[in-house]
């Protein structure tokens, strides 16, 4: 969806140039097939140590941050065009209800329309937040998040050095210290044949949320 949006806006007026900067919070070998399948013409980075996640307090994917031409955050990190419909999937067959698929398309379209509106209207867009309102929405990381990221990076280093058991211990402690970070947990979790952490451990973690959302809905103004 980002490639389509990028292509539609790449020829916008020079004072409203727009680009997408995608960051994969994963290992290169895990991210490569997805990047190659998307065939993006915008920059794609791979952040194996979650440095960007640490800087912006990113805890899940897909999350997006809107940054204007002056380097100011216009919208802090938020879920970008996804919702919790996946929780209604038939776990035995993988079937997704038609209503869930339709709602997924609606949410994605709504978010892409909001980005397009911002690119074309700038600060006049209903979804462009001024500095005060952007700051008010900014969620600060948990107090232990810095230690969690340090342990995560240590775990990644140990893994590359062949110290699998110690690496797993550091990764587990990182997730304990920062349980909101699904991205951190996901990179250390067991993957399926598609390279996704979507097995029993993932679903157990999702079920443990109870009524809490996996994807906190983005507050997008529609039709304004």
Q: Which two tokens stand for residue 56?
A: 């912006």
Question: 156 and 67, same structural domain?
Answer: no
Residue 106 belongs to domain with CATH number:
3.40.30
Question: 27 and 126, same structural domain?
Answer: yes
Question: 61 and 107, same structural domain?
Answer: yes
> What residue numbers bound the domain in which 161 lies?
145-207
> Could you tell me if residue 58 is inside a domain?
yes
Question: 85 and 36, same structural domain?
Answer: yes
For the entire predicted model, the pTM comes to 0.89
Question: 158 and 180, same structural domain?
Answer: yes
Per-residue pLDDT of the chain (224 residues; tens, 9 = 90+): 899 999 888 766 545 678 999 999 988 988 899 899 999 999 999 999 999 999 999 999 999 999 999 999 999 999 999 999 999 999 889 899 999 999 999 999 999 999 999 999 999 999 999 999 999 999 888 889 999 999 999 999 999 999 999 999 999 999 999 999 999 998 888 777 776 778 899 999 999 999 999 999 999 987 54
């Amino acid at each position: 969806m980002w490639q389509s949006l990028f292509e539609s806006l790449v020829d916008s007026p020079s004072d409203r140039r727009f680009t997408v900067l995608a960051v994969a919070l994963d290992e290169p070998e895990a991210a490569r097939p997805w990047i190659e399948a998307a065939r993006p013409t915008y920059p794609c980075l791979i952040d194996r140590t979650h440095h960007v996640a640490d800087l912006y307090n990113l805890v899940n994917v897909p999350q997006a941050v809107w940054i204007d031409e002056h380097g100011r955050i216009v919208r802090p990190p938020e879920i970008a065009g996804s919702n919790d419909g996946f929780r209604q999937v038939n776990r035995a067959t993988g079937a997704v209800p038609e209503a869930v698929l339709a709602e997924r398309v609606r949410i994605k379209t709504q978010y892409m329309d909001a980005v397009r509106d911002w690119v074309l209207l700038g600060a006049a867009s209903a979804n462009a937040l001024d500095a005060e309102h952007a700051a008010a929405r900014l969620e600060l990381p948990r107090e232990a998040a810095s230690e969690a990221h340090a342990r995560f990076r240590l775990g990644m280093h140990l893994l590359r050095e062949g110290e699998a058991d110690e690496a797993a211990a550091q990764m587990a402690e990182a997730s304990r210290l920062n349980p909101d970070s699904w991205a951190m947990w996901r990179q250390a979790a067991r993957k399926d044949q598609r390279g996704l952490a979507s097995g029993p451990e993932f679903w157990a973690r999702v079920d443990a949320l109870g009524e809490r959302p996996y994807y906190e809905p983005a507050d997008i103004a529609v039709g304004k």
